[in-house]
Structure 1
Amino acid sequence: MCCQSSGQWKFPAQQPRKSLASRRRHTGFRPSTQLLILIAVLLALLQGRTVDAGAGDSLSGVRQSCSNEGEEVQLKNQPQIFTCFKCECQNGFVNCRDTCPPVNDCYILDKSNGTCCRRCKGCSFRGMSYESGSEWNDPEDPCKTYKCVATVVTETIQKCYSQCDNNQLQPPRPGECCPTCQGCKINGQTVAEGHEVDASIDDRCLVCQCRGTQLTCSKKTCPVLPCPMSKQIKRPDECCPRCPQNHSFLPVPGKCLFNKSVYPEKTQFMPDRCTNCTCLNGTSVCQRPTCPILECAPEFQEPDGCCPRCAVAEVRSECSLDGIVYQNNETWDMGPCRSCRCNGGTIRCAQMRCPAVKCRANEELKQPPGECCQRCVETAGTCTVFGDPHFRTFDGKFFSFQGSCKYLLASDCMGKTFHIRLTNEGRGTRRASWAKTVTLSLRNLKVNLGQRMRVKVNGTRVTLPYFVVAGGQNVTIERLANGGAVMLRSEMGLTLEWNGAGFLQVSVPAKFKKRLCGLCGNFNGSSRDDLTGKDGRSHGDDEVWHFANSWKVGGPKSCSRKREFLAATPTCDKRKSNFYCHPLSVPALFGECNERLNPENYKAACRMDVCECPSGDCHCDSFAAYAHECRRLGVQLPDWRSATNCPAGWRRNATLSSFKGNQFYGDPSFSRMKGRRQKNHQLRLQLQQEQQQRSKQGQKGRHKPGGHNQLDRQGHNGLDKDQLQKEFILKHVPSSFLYPRAPDRTPPPLH
């Protein structure tokens, strides 16, 4: 088959349509007709994000495909609503995410903010406007703090706390209330720069922060919330309650909306016996005292008005925990996130606070060993080879190349730590080819992964599992639990998965970024330049042949075909490809993954593979590649192999009967048309042979007496009228008119 690349890999006419209905409140914005599809895409992707599209509008459209994996997709010349979204190409789809600030735990939403984002209604205080969540100090008294939460300003006096010795205590910084401790340590635990820690798990409002290698600890009161007490929730590991519900209220100029009541200007009210509030310019300004910091455990505390106090308790010089005795002021760790101290017989523990983290498309959230908080780490690069070779590079570029020689698949072109070679074979076909063997060279180690999952190490066949040390690094080779593939893992993070029949997946850690070369690309985060040849020249999508051939290694003996027919384009029966590739469009089989990974790339690959398939089950390669990538993305699929009769392992010689009658395949009527064409061809050959024989007999008859009269009586060449009619039809009328069939179709280019 001709080598082809996916410039965009999208087939709009064949994409399944998705109905996305959304009833929205009227805001005056109605999208034009050409924007309906894009709006529908955004609505489908944002899962709960509200986009107003007019009252009762019902939108439908298709998800847009894309080719430049990981790159941002610009939305140009669009209404203001689209400025709140950032779109990028991910897994073959244009995925958009909301860039608006979160409005969780906001009881009063602002509907008149003039932007496309929903916002929590802010506060007006002393002639200044503040967004909800803002916190500031009084310029004349830095210990007096204010916080705005949904039209309510809470005024409080923060209380300071210090655990360090006096010789390490530093005076407050200019404009700040509390002194600082030199060195960011609490209970013997080091606090990372810019991070916060709960100084006591018994009092989550006592918070310490590390800034400039200095630790500052203080306690503030919880802000007053505008929602009813019955609607508030409080999590065990948090200091303050929240208002979990969002509401939009009609604005009441000059009045304050608090709880379920409306208060006129300058009206005073008490939400509870410890809080005094006044309505000023539409904002409820409330004063609430901060409770003192207690050194005793909760079981030794008792109520005292608005705040608890420590009851009289025995002060001891040691603490006991799980049979271990700790002396007063002794500290110890309870894991990477918690450390404790013995304080007068009471155990006080500090808990690290982990900041909220949102990873990018090429990152995943992981828990590093020995660290408290999860963080985003770059995902490994993955290159996949499958079928009549289709390639997905480390950066997500798809292309097809059917050369039958040996090629450099991937190599550390900078560090020279490894290189992988791929050998293709034609298997008796003119245009198609499949991966035959994979060879990994890793320092002093050479591993050959062959057909039927045979493995050779440095030229000697080995049994699995196999362990070896290469260049001081451990390498393991084993069969996977399901027995369908061989997995090679190296200590440097390089892995190879090979099923012994043409499917290969190579994974490399992020440390190899911008260091690789070969058919799998350079792993630089952009798919645009993945078709870069060995000479450094970048090739277009129509130059895959030149790109791939530049990475050819080995001599002529490494090729299974003496002559390549790469310029030839295969002619496929559309109904045949529709029959074999239909399971990829069945929701019961792969539908769970269709929202995460664009299946069009694999459908196009399947349509190519059935054109020239020596085994009869080449379509199964595309199914397996798609399912494998779905599992890597965390999608659980049903037992598609049993459902489609595509068993794992070494390919077998399958026939149409192996799949005909299966409910998940398409219309098998193409096989009847094929049978008619074969029968017609056999009839033509038979009549041609009979014609040649009669022609010879006729030539002999001309030399016999009366031969000329015999020809006149029987017709030309001794044929009767019916035979003459059959011969004329077969000679002059194309067989396509005799037995109508679907026109030959060249599969569309993979772009």
Structure 2
Amino acid sequence: ILQNSSGPFAACHQTLPPQNFVQSCVYDLCIGGGYQPILCQSLGVYASQCQQNGIQPASWRRPGFCEIPCPANSHFESQATGCPPTCVNPNSTQNCPLPVQESCVCDTGYVLSAGQCVPYAECGCSFEGRYYRSGRTVILDEDCGRRCSCTAGSMTCSPHGCGPHESCSVDDGERGCRPNGYATCWIRGPGSYQTFDGLTYQYPGACRLIIAKEMGLSGHPHFNLITEKVPNILQGFSNVLKVRVQETEICFHVFQVDGQLYKLPFSSGSNQIHIFHSNTHSIILRTSFGLTVQTVWPHFVRVTAPIVYSSSLGGLCGNYNDEPNDDFQTPNGTLVHSSQVFGDSWREGSLASHCVENRVFNPLNYSSTEFCGILTSPHGPFTPCWPVVDPSQQVDVCVDILRRSEDPESTRCQVLRDYVLMCQQQGVSLGEWRNTTGCGKNNTHNFWR
């Protein structure tokens, strides 16, 4: 078709001989196994070269052959202007120095706004040398001193500032106030907790428990983490983790958002919530305001919250005020000294007997290097992490979890994996730890596919 003397490119042959283009096209198609988009790309390159030389080929694209799909409110033209009208310059086609080209062109009544065709009435704002789409809100100045919104072509700004636990910075091209620090709460095995402030305790559980909750004191987005035990039809219980962010609820058992089933990765319409698989056989929920939930449910949960929530949280993860001695506060603010009383105070619903599972208790010594003691062994794979995650405390937690497990050998690998995740959060990679501990990939679990 390129060198056909009566084909759509014939007018260009004298100025731009097609032989070299044909050879390149044949080579690319052979390498690509005759894949049609490769042919279309080769033809498009020649057509573009012709247009740049002031020669317009005849129409060569047709339905089913090298069509160019165009986005909403636009259509394809083979001889489109090289200077399409935009909201900033609606008269850009006048005296355009560029040659015509194949392109998608906005329909009548629409104009380009930040790469999208919008009605003229929805044009954005030109402000201080930059263009912003209509409806967009941005933070400006090095100290984040202004919050500006574009509405109906006009930019409106108001004073803005960062909070006492925030700093102004640019992330992914967006300026904003970002937390100066974070804290993490860990939940492992059947009822082992480590609060945001570092307090470790045991609590067996209940039908419905509040793990972490914004108590309405911070002025930042509200969130709530809840665990539930739901009786199965046959026997036992299904453990469910629910995360509510503002008005959106995510269920980690059968993966649901607001009652609808989804496959991962998932992003909410507002981009406030992103959920995806990690490379450690876990699921990660990440919010735009800094809250992160990582889980290998139901064996492991990690909740990381920004410091802007300091002293404004409640639940089994504590109050996040950097004081572990007062973490056992009930919802009404009363300080108690029993983990059982503390945990009971954060239950929702009842502590009915049907939520109590018959737990085994194995008195064996699991502190040996064959089990939990490998964490503190100087010859084990975990020594690089000792400076940042104290292994002795984790051995105690490990022993308690294994004593309550019906399958200690399998549970051992899950607990060791939990320690590895703690190390990874601190920037320490432990390499091939599975090979030296007997925890091969067949010991891992993948709950969502």
Whether 1:477 and 2:275 are equivalent positions in the alignment is yes
Displacement after TM superposition at 1:553 (Å): 0.9
Q: Does 1:526 align with 2:346?
A: no
- 1:184-583 correspondence to structure 2 within 5 Å: 368=170, 378-414=180-216, 415=219, 417-423=222-228, 436-450=239-253, 454-469=254-269, 472=270, 474-480=272-278, 482=279, 484-540=281-337, 543-555=338-350, 560-561=355-356, 570=361, 572-574=363-365, 579-583=370-374
State the structure with more CA Rg.
1
Q: 1:536 to 1:376 in 2, by over 3 A?
A: closer
Q: Is the 8 A contact 2:313 2:320 kept in 1?
A: yes
Would the alpha carbon gap of residues 434 and 368 (structure 1) be closer, same or farther in structure 2, given more than 3 Å must change? Answer: farther
Indicate the residue corresponding to 1:624 in structure 2: 417
How far residue 500 of structure 1 moved from its aligned partner, in angstroms, is: 2.6
Which amino acid in the other structure matches residue 613 of structure 1? S
* Runs of 5+ consecutive residues of structure 1 not aligned to the other structure: 1-335, 337-362, 428-432, 653-751
The 5 Å alignment of 1:605-620 reads 605-616=397-408, 617-620=410-413
CA distance in 2, matches of 1:436, 1:538: 29
Structure 2 counterpart SS, 1:409: strand
The answer (yes or no) to whether the contact 2:293–2:301 under 8 Å persists in 1 is: yes
How do residues 14-93 of structure 1 correspond to structure 2 at under 5 angstroms?
Answer: none
Number of residue pairs the alignment of both structures matches = 271
CA-to-aligned-CA distance 1:11-58 (integer Å, 9 cap, x gap): xxxxxxxxxxxxxxxxxxxxxxxxxxxxxxxxxxxxxxxxxxxxxxxx
CA distance in 1, matches of 2:424, 2:167: 17
Distance 2:231 2:203 in 1: 12
- CA separation in 2, counterparts of 1:604 and 1:425? 29
CA distance in 2, matches of 1:612, 1:582: 17
Does residue 644 of the first structure (1) align with residue 437 of the second (2)?
Answer: yes
Q: Deviations over 1:674-721 (max 9, x none)?
A: xxxxxxxxxxxxxxxxxxxxxxxxxxxxxxxxxxxxxxxxxxxxxxxx
Per-residue deviation at 1:514?
A: 1.2
The answer to whether the 8 Å contact 2:197/2:323 transfers is: yes
C-alpha distance 620-556 of structure 1, shift in aligned 2 (>3 A): same
8 Å CA contact 1:602, 1:626 repeated in 2: yes
Q: Percent identity?
A: 22
Q: What is the DSSP-based 3-state SS (H/G/I as helix, E as strand, rest coil) of the residue aligned with 1:537?
A: coil
Counterpart residue type for residue 316 of structure 2: L
Distance verdict in 2 for CA 1:547–1:435, change over 3 Å: farther
Residue 415 of structure 2 aligns to a residue whose secondary structure is helix
Looking at structure 1, the residues matched to 329 and 231 of structure 2 have their Cα atoms a distance apart, in angstroms, of 25
Structure 1 residues 492 and 611, CA, compared in 2 at 3 Å: closer, same or farther?
Answer: same
Q: Which residue of 2 aligns with 1:592?
A: 384
Structure with more relative contact order (C-alpha pairs < 8 Å, separation 6 or more): 1
1:617-654, Cα deviation, whole Å (9 max, x unpaired) = 222233122211111112221221232233464289xx
Amino acid at match of 1:546: V
Show CA shifts across 1:249-271 (max 9, x none). Answer: xxxxxxxxxxxxxxxxxxxxxxx
How far the C-alpha of 1:366 sits from its partner, in A, is: 10
1:409 CA drift (Å):
0.3
Offset at residue 420 of structure 1 (A): 0.7
Q: Which residue of 2 aligns with 1:38?
A: none
- The structural deviation recorded for 1:517 is 0.5
Are residues 518 and 364 of structure 1, via their aligned partners in 2, closer, same or farther at CA, if it must alter by over 3 Å?
Answer: same
**Distance in 2, Cα, partners of 1:425 & 1:582:** 34
Q: Is this contact kept in 2: 1:435–1:501, CA < 8 A?
A: no
Give the gaps of 5 or more residues in structure 2: 1-141, 143-164
Q: Is the 8 A contact 2:361 2:405 kept in 1?
A: no
1:443 corresponds to which letter in structure 2? Q
Against the structure 1 CA distance between its residues 461 and 370, is the aligned structure 2 distance closer, same or farther, given a 3 Å change threshold?
closer
CA contact (8 A) 1:529 1:538 kept: yes
Q: Give yes or no for contact 1:364–1:377 (8 Å, CA) kept in 2.
A: yes
CA deviation after TM superposition for structure 1 residue 605, in Å: 0.9
CA contact (8 A) 2:182 2:305 kept: yes
Alignment deviations for residues 301-346 of structure 1 (CA, whole Å, 9 cap, x no partner): xxxxxxxxxxxxxxxxxxxxxxxxxxxxxxxxxxx9xxxxxxxxxx
Q: Give 1:393 shift.
A: 0.9
Deviations 1:159-215 (A, max 9, x none): xxxxxxxxxxxxxxxxxxxxxxxxxxxxxxxxxxxxxxxxxxxxxxxxxxxxxxxxx
Q: Does 1:633 align with 2:436?
A: no
Q: Is the 8 A contact 2:367 2:373 kept in 1?
A: no
Q: Does 1:601 align with 2:393?
A: yes
Quick one: which amino acid aligns to residue 650 of structure 1? Answer: H
Q: Which residue identity lines up with residue 560 of structure 1 in the other structure?
A: C
- The whole-number CA distance in structure 2 between the counterparts of 1:576 and 1:511 is 39
Paired with 1:394 and 1:476, the residues of 2 have a C-alpha distance of: 23
Shift of residue 575, structure 1, vs aligned partner: 6.1
Q: Distance in 1 between matches of 2:249 and 2:395?
A: 35
Measure, in 1, the Cα distance between the counterparts of 2:245 and 2:172. Answer: 30
Q: d(CA) in 2 for partners of 1:370 and 1:468?
A: 19
- Code of the aligned partner of 1:476: H
| 1:458 shift after superposition | 1.4
The change in CA–CA distance for 1:557 and 1:570 in structure 2 (over 3 A counts) is closer
Cα distance in 1, alignment partners of residues 348 and 256 from structure 2:
20
Cα contact 2:362–2:403 (8 A) shared by 1? yes
1:594-622 deviation digits (Å, cap 9, x = unpaired): 12221111100111122131233222233
Is residue 485–residue 649 contact of structure 1 (8 Å, CA) maintained in 2? no
Give the deviation of 1:434 after TM superposition: 10
Structure 1 residues 550 and 577: alpha-carbon distance in aligned structure 2, compared to 1, 3 A threshold: farther
Q: TM-score, normalised by structure 1?
A: 0.33
**1:546/1:370 Cα in 2 relative to 1: closer, same or farther (>3 Å)?**
closer
**Closer, same or farther: CA 624–491 of 1 in aligned 2, 3 Å:** same
Report the Cα distance in structure 1 between the residues aligned to 2:172 and 2:299, rounded to whole angstroms. Answer: 40
State the distance in 2 between where 1:426 and 1:642 align.
Answer: 37
- Provide TM-score, normalisation by structure 2: 0.53
